[in-house]
Amino acid sequence: MPALANKTYFNYGGQGPLPSPSLEAITACWRQIQELGPFTSEVWPLVEHTMGALRQRLAGWMGVSPARLAFTENVTSGCVLPLWGLPWREGDQLLLSDCEHPGVVAACRELARRHRLELHTLVVRDLATGPEATEAALLERLEGALQPRTRLVVLSHLLWNTGQLMPIAKVAQRLQRHPGQPWLLVDAAQCLGSIPVAEAAAAADIYACTGHKWCCGPEGLGVVALSQRLLSQAQPTLIGWRSLGHEGSAQSGFHADGRRFEVATSCLPLFAGLHRSLQLLEAEGDARQRLKRIGALAGRLWGQLQELPGVEPLLQVPPPAGLVSFTVDGPTPEALVQALGARGIWLRSLDDPHCLRACTHITTTNAELDQLTATLAELTTQP
């Protein structure tokens, strides 16, 4: 990873560095397209093979059939495009957790404005303990928040700000017992490449991921897993030739599978690059093995941060994955990001809650954790 050669990097939750083999796969695909001719009969087998191979591999990672997947540009489009195609009725209620990303929240607000829907909040930000207590508290709060007109629950799998893990499959089971069987939308921006996703992706109605964060793939390519009931009820919203069962005819009906939410021309080399990044991750172990390494590093960092005066992790227990969020007395998070960056150490600040976030991946080393905590100790004790 060339991007790691001259810096200490903790921003995988924002964007993962691209491995050299993935970059080479991208450029090789570009070259092959141009050699074949970008719009010739000889190029279409390459297009179909490249997209089909990635769809098949992602289906394996996500525990669903390839027919339930749609390629997108990013997580937000994966969330929003199917969401806007659902049949809404005035007075329906949307239940959003208080830890959702602003992009998804803004889309839900606009959806509510246009269709005269109601927005309600599910409080999860303060859930800072272990998995059993978190699950029990969440399900109890969900029980109290669900109402007869609830039609959608929006809950991220791994909260992007606190780093807490949500029991998505258990939430889905509870929603199935609701008389209205609300849809479940899951922002999984921090999940693919970070934690096992198959159980949650199979349980949700919309489970949206990206390739450019923990998968360390190229930006501009994501995937969403869609439930069979959503595919039977939702209509495409942003429509193009790839949405059609027969791409050459405007009279054609839409694909019956996830492809109805794909739009038009995509950048094929990105598919080759992401496919190579997934292969590289697989070579490092399966999802549970990789999470064990990621979690051990995150737990080590969590423990080291607790030893620093004025530094407090948001979670009361070691993080369930690689997101380690914390507050620091004194300097603002933004000032610390700049000061750390001047020393070649990169993490990020968050607005809500106002804190710092560091991410550990399988590429992170113990020496890098020591470097981060030692530099934080120096910066926060300076007069």
pLDDT digits (tens, 9 = 90+) for 122-163: 999 999 999 999 999 999 999 999 999 999 999 999 999 999
CB 245 within 8 A of CB 45: no
pLDDT at 248: 83
Alpha carbon 250 to chain centroid distance? 33
What's the fold here for domain 28-280? Answer: Aspartate Aminotransferase; domain 2 (3.40.640)
pLDDT at 31: 97
What is this structure's pTM?
Answer: 0.96
Whole-angstrom distance, CA of residue 240 vs CA of residue 261: 9
Q: How many other C-beta atoms are found inside a 10 Å radius of the C-beta of residue 175?
A: 22
pLDDT digits (tens, 9 = 90+) for 58-114: 999 999 999 999 999 999 999 999 999 999 999 999 999 999 999 999 999 999 999
pLDDT at 250: 81
pLDDT at 383: 56
Percentage of residues of the chain with pLDDT beyond 90: 96
In the chain, where are the structural domains located? 28-280, 285-381
Q: Give the containing element (helix H, strand E) for 285.
A: none
pLDDT at 382: 62
Please identify every stretch of the chain with a pLDDT value under 70, giving residue numbers as ranges.
Answer: 382-383
CATH number of 285-381: 3.90.1150.10
pLDDT at 165: 98
Whole-angstrom distance, CA of residue 371 vs CA of residue 88: 52
